[in-house]
Structure 1
Amino acid sequence: MPSNAADLELADVTKAYGETVAVDHVSLKVPAGTYCCLLGPSGCGKTSTLRMVAGHEFISDGDVLIGNTVVNDLPPAKRGTAMMFQNYALFPHLSVQENVAFSLKMAGIGKAERLERADEMLGMVDMDAYAKRLPARLSGGQQQRVALARALVTNPTVLLLDEPLSALDPFLRIRMRAELKRYQREFGISFVHVTHSQEEAMALADMVVVMNDGRIEQVGSPREVYNHPKTRFVAQFIGGHNIVHEGASAYAVRADRIRLFAAQADGTTASPATVSDVEYQGMTIHVALKRQDGTALLATLPEHEFDRSPVSVGDTVQVGWNADDRHELAA
């Protein structure tokens, strides 16, 4: 792990805009060298949290620590963080090389050294061949690499990324996910990445932080959060789960654990349901169902399994799951 790697900690951090509380007493520790994704819907407080760490928003209450240092009152340039913005924010009149070197220029580093460091960083992100080009002559993916190089050239302790993949087309987004993860491993510092995409968080993160209404709902590895959602919100937002009510309690069942039967099957909790939709997704078929008690369910079936016993809209089937696949949710 590099010598500049350090833990990031938020201790009871709150952000209020007048009477509106955007971040509500959030506490979180991101160990050094972690790829952390802040995941949640628009307005959940994830970007405000990121901007408080960066120093672009004042903290209403609580502390942000990087290593053992409380950075609340430090300007962004003194925190050891760097931020990569959603729109990349490249200077259109500066070359790629000059864009990457700009923050070093602001720090008073001499021209020869800053250009050498910029060239070295461009080489690391495979953009050295484009050093003299203007940003307008680059593709979206190339612009992202330049923005990443510009953020990393200052040798930050923590890199902060605000929805960095949202402007890219789906194919490029997948490719750039792999590159971001590779760069994080190579540099060995923490990346804190804001996203509303469950797929993006699952693919990238060592630590997923699910936020809702200014608070943290759950923290864990992608597999922990997906397989063991703590709350109804997490189960629904992460996706792939059905919420089933029984009396005053609720529990989750993954969509790929739902099974359809022609008749009651042993070892399952099965009940009749009507097929309301069938959607082909290539390797899987999504079958939407409604039980007689009004519960809506989604079954995700492998194509070969669906083909053995195909169903159509309007069919009545037995729908069930193994008792072991029931996951209790907090009240």
Structure 2
Amino acid sequence: MDTHGIRVQRRFDVELVQVTKRYGGTTAVDGISLRIPPASYCCLLGPSGCGKTSTLRMIAGHEVISDGDVLIHDVNVTDLPPVERGTAMMFQSYALFPHLNCLDNVAFSLKARGMAKAQRHAKAREYLALVHMEGFAERLPSQLSGGQQQRVALARSLVTEPRVLLLDEPLSALDPFLRTRVREELKRLQRELGISFIHVTHSQDEAMALADLMVVMEDGHIRQAGPPREVFERPVSAFVARFIGGHNVLQGPGGMIAVRADRCRLGDPADGPHLPARVAAVEYQGPSVRVALTVGKGRDASVLVPDEQFYAEPVQPGDAATLVWAERDAHALAGAG
């Protein structure tokens, strides 16, 4: 509300303004700026050491910012302690108390705030139900599977009704099947609760499946930020194209280009833009076969061939081949990368 009692729509749930983090002489995050719109699912994506976890911890207040500002709901929280920021953090390890049952694990932060037992237990049960764990309220963490522990940890993070939920690689300990199921649950919860989630991951598939806003980081910098489809279709650099995967980074007549592997094919030089290649490996992937190639001066490339088409004209490692693409599918890249 403003001073006249009129509700003012916030501009951003989180805004980073030239945020830097230094550890001694090492700069982990280097002057990044980012705006996360209200009720967004934002994924910070990048290789180990790119600065994504340091960024998350600075938003939470668990790391002191060396330079710059963090705003949450348009309020500068740079100098506020974590408890006053309106954020909650869900850690990779889940960090459940082993001696408390699920109900008391979820209710713990409410107890610390002085909420009466009946009230905090009622609210804890509500949030266990939100993550479909209401039937496990009396169980200890040791009596739960990894996926169930993950859901309880999520309920515990949400029970304080944070403005922003911060997630540090929350799916990395789960098997692939369960990871997909929990991924769907995270997106459902984010939409139902209408708050922003900021999720650190090194998994390109995870970020593309979850994010409204995908932020690709390298060496403490944001290299590209946008909707996943935009980043995938139009990577700005060779690094982004290679890191998000699914692209061939090739030397075209006018410089570096990216072409999606599923838009490339094995063909003939007369078919269009092409490069001579040699088959390095063949991987059956169910509906398609990935043909790994060596092109030019030892550069890697690949083609995704529909399985029926591949087995009609199979190739094997060592075969000469021609990598072909359509001009319309080539996207120019900045820098040599």
- For the criterion TM > 0.5, the same-fold answer is yes
Task: Tell me which residue corresponds to 1:144.
Answer: 150
1:78 deviates by 0.9
Structure 1 gaps of 5+ residues are none
Offset from partner CA, 1:92-147 (integer Å, 9 cap, x none): 11111111011111112122211111111111111111111111101111111111
Offset from partner CA, 1:20-65 (integer Å, 9 cap, x none): 0011001001111000000001110000000000011001110000
CA contact (8 A) 1:270 1:320 kept: yes
TM-score by length of 2: 0.93
Task: Tell me which residue corresponds to 1:200.
Answer: 206
CA contact (8 A) 2:10 2:74 kept: no
Task: Tell me which residue corresponds to 1:264.
Answer: 269
1:174 deviates by 0.8
Letter in 2 for 1:159: L
Q: Where does 1:60-71 land on structure 2 (aligned, <5 Å)?
A: 60-71=66-77
Q: Where does 1:157-196 land on structure 2 (aligned, <5 Å)?
A: 157-196=163-202
1:6 deviates by 5.8
Higher mean C-alpha displacement, 104-113 vs 319-328 = 104-113
Higher mean C-alpha displacement, 289-298 vs 316-325 = 289-298
CA distance in 2, matches of 1:248, 1:6: 40
Task: Tell me which residue corresponds to 2:295.
Answer: 291
CA distance in 2, matches of 1:115, 1:314: 65
* Cα distance change of structure 1 residues 248 and 22 upon mapping to structure 2, 3 Å threshold: farther
Asked if residue 39 in structure 1 is aligned to residue 21 in structure 2, the reply is no
CA distance in 2, matches of 1:177, 1:50: 19
CA distance in 1, matches of 2:230, 2:73: 27
Letter in 1 for 2:212: D
Asked if residue 312 in structure 1 is aligned to residue 307 in structure 2, the reply is no
CA distance in 2, matches of 1:196, 1:271: 31
Asked if residue 233 in structure 1 is aligned to residue 239 in structure 2, the reply is yes
Give the aligned CA root-mean-square deviation in angstroms: 1.6
Task: Tell me which residue corresponds to 2:279.
Answer: 275
CA contact (8 A) 1:11 1:63 kept: yes
* Cα distance change of structure 1 residues 4 and 139 upon mapping to structure 2, 3 Å threshold: farther
Asked if residue 48 in structure 1 is aligned to residue 60 in structure 2, the reply is no
1:314 deviates by 2.1
Task: Tell me which residue corresponds to 2:3.
Answer: none
* Cα distance change of structure 1 residues 293 and 4 upon mapping to structure 2, 3 Å threshold: closer
CA distance in 2, matches of 1:325, 1:32: 34
Higher mean C-alpha displacement, 239-248 vs 312-321 = 239-248
The residue matched to 1:265 in structure 2 has which SS?
helix
% identical aligned pairs: 61
1:179 deviates by 0.6
* Matched pairs, number: 327
* Cα distance change of structure 1 residues 128 and 38 upon mapping to structure 2, 3 Å threshold: same
